Amino acid sequence: MSQSNSSFATFGAGCFWGVEYFFRQIPGVINATCGYMGGNDKYSRYEDVKKGITGHAEVVQVEFDPSQVSFDDLLQVFWKNHNPTSLNQQGGDIGTQYRSTIFFHDKTQKEQAEASKLALARSGRWGTRHIVTEIVPLQTFHVAEEYHQNYIDKNNLPSCHIEY
């Protein structure tokens, strides 16, 4: 349920179960929803996305209260919880559906994402490795099947993401 004072951000950082989990832990995040974005077809099913045939990335759309948490804060969480130098792979998940990507919702988010990516590259945190994260315009968000939503908590699993 969307709140009138909320904003949205959309991130792809590997398997969406872990991405959703770490964003749900952030005070000011109202909701985090697993889904698919960035592909060529009009409707996606998990089975097709997982095979890598749709062009979609597994993403999480984050609804947040900007009076409690900023988009820049969410970017820091995004960078910290995946490897942005790994092209089309996070851990054992391999394929374009697991790419590192930020789908910006407006010009301000685009500028903040680009500045954040540049600052990370200049920080030396990843050595000489290139940050491969895409920063692209928002596309149609396809909500993933219900069993994917809040998957880690529903199944009493540890987070599948590693803090970097």
* Active site members: 15
- Exposure of 75 by Cβ count < 10 A (0-12 exposed, 13-18 middle, 19+ buried)? buried
3-state secondary structure of 101: strand
- State how far the alpha carbon of 65 is from the alpha carbons of 54, 69, 96, 102, in Å: 32, 6, 30, 19
Tokens 């920080």 appear where?
123
Amino acid at 83: N
Q: Strand order of the sheet with strand 134-137?
A: 134-137, 100-104, 7-13, 57-64, 29-37, 142-143
Query: 29 Cβ partners below 8 Å, 6+ apart?
Result: 23, 62, 63, 64, 65, 69, 74
- State how far the alpha carbon of 117 is from the alpha carbons of 9, 79, 111, 143, 160, in Å: 16, 9, 10, 27, 23
